[in-house]
Amino acid sequence: MIFFAITLLVGAYALRIYKLAGQRQSKLFGISFLFISAAYFVQSILNFAASYSMAEECSMRSMTAVHSLSNFGIYSHMILFITGLVTLAYMTLKIKNINAYALFLAAILAVLLLSSNKLYFFYALSSILLIYISFYYLENYLKSRKMSTLIVFTAFLFLLFGKIHFIFSIDHGTFYVAGHLLEFVAYTLILINLIDVIRRK
Amino acid sequence: MSKKRDKLQIIYDILSVIKEKNGKIKPTNILYKSNLSNQMFNEYMGELIKKRFIIENKTKSGKVYSLTEKGFAYLNKYQMIVDFTGSFGLNE
């Protein structure tokens, strides 16, 4: 729920900047964070439903319903999160071609949905996209040499490390916890940067 | 040599010039004060009208420009826009 709230805040703020400046990059950035936010919202609901079903004594029928809901939730989370990252990567390319975006998104979603191990491919594809996005933010920092750009670059680096940890978490539970902790640090840094921008106005 | 202006800075400069003489400024004055080439100037003015930052009025003595509410809001929030877009790498 924390990740959902932070990404929603950043997405909404980027769209506010778009409304003020009419800048296309802010619109794409805002949309990408809203997709990521929706992915975390779905995950929160999923976690809540799973903990509820474990706490209550459920019938076989309701257990099947929870299982179906769980599958739907996992797929929704993966599709929304990947769409968010693809939108963010498309924003960093600075090209104006909706067909290129559609092709980019369709190719990545096809790889994800047609793979035999969807969870593994989800973490692997997210990591590849985050490597590219992190390089973009490294360049952005090297151009400006400001603390705020360094914070954002570090945040995306932590997100990348988090996703890499999730790849290993499929076999080792400890990596799953480490992945969440790294993501928590990443979103905290993004929130710190956003608060700093708002306070400076 | 002065640093190259980015798009947000150029828009800020054009809107500031229009604000100084709001509703009375002619394109030649804006072109002169904004320090842009003729082609760039036309592109920016077209975009600013399209995005409703400014409005064009035709008078007997020619075209004049004035800021809209959105144009004033841009000038007021300019620093915040620059800080946000700069830190999140959203410069065009």
CA A154 – CA A10 distance, rounded (Å):
16
Give the chain B residue whose CA is nearest to the CA of A200. B80
The structural domains of chain B, with segments of one domain joined by +, span 7-87
Length of chain A: 201
Specify the pTM: 0.86
Enumerate the β-bridge partners of residue B62. Answer: B59
Interface predicted TM-score of the whole assembly (ipTM), two decimals: 0.80
Q: Name the token pair of B60.
A: 């007997």
Residues in chain B: 92
Q: Using alpha carbons, select from A60, A59, A122 the residue that is nearest to residue A85.
A: A122
Q: What local confidence, expressed as pLDDT, does residue A43 receive?
A: 87
Class in CATH terms, B7-87:
mainly alpha
- Does the CB of A97 have a partner CB in chain B at under 8 Å? no
Q: A-chain residues within 8 Å CB-CB of B80?
A: 17, 197-198, 200-201
Query: What are the extents of the domains in chain A?
Result: 2-200
Inter-chain residue contact A14 with B80, CB threshold 8 Å: no
Chain A residue numbers touching B91 (CB-CB < 8 A)? 25
Q: Is A161 helix (H, G, I), strand (E, B) or coil?
A: helix
Percentages of chain B per state (helix, strand, coil), in multiples of 5:
60, 15, 30
Q: Which residue from A minimizes the CA distance to B79?
A: A201
pLDDT at A61: 64
Q: Which of A24, A149, A200 sits opposite B92 (nearest CB)?
A: A24
Distance from CA of A44 to the nearest CA of B (A): 26
Between positions 136 and 155 of A, the ones with CB within 8 A of B are 136-137, 140, 144, 146, 148-149, 151-152
- Residue B45: both structure tokens together: 């003015």
Q: What span, in angstroms and rounded, lies between the C-alpha atoms of B75 and B77?
A: 6
Cα–Cα distance between A39 and A54 in angstroms, integer? 23
Residues of chain B scoring pLDDT < 70: 1-4, 23
Q: Answer whether A189's CB lies under 8 Å from A141's CB.
A: no
pLDDT at B4: 67
Q: Please, are residues A123 and A163 in contact by the beta-carbon 8 Å criterion?
A: yes
Task: Return contacts of A140-148, CB within 8 angstroms, 24+ apart.
Answer: A140/B89, A144/B86, A146/B86, A146/B87, A148/A193, A148/A196, A148/A197, A148/B83, A148/B86, A148/B87
- For each successive 10 residues of chain A (201 residues), what is the average pLDDT? 91 92 90 95 83 65 70 89 95 90 94 89 93 94 90 93 80 76 91 87 60
**Residue B3 confidence (pLDDT):** 58
Q: What is the per-residue pLDDT for A59?
A: 64
Q: State whether residue A16 sits within 8 Å of chain B by CB.
A: no
Question: Inter-chain contact B90–A149, Cβ cutoff 8 Å?
Answer: no
Chain B residues within an 8 Å CB radius of A136 = 89
Which of B7, B14, B88, B91 should be substituted to probe chain A, the one whose Cβ sees the most A Cβ atoms within 10 Å? B88
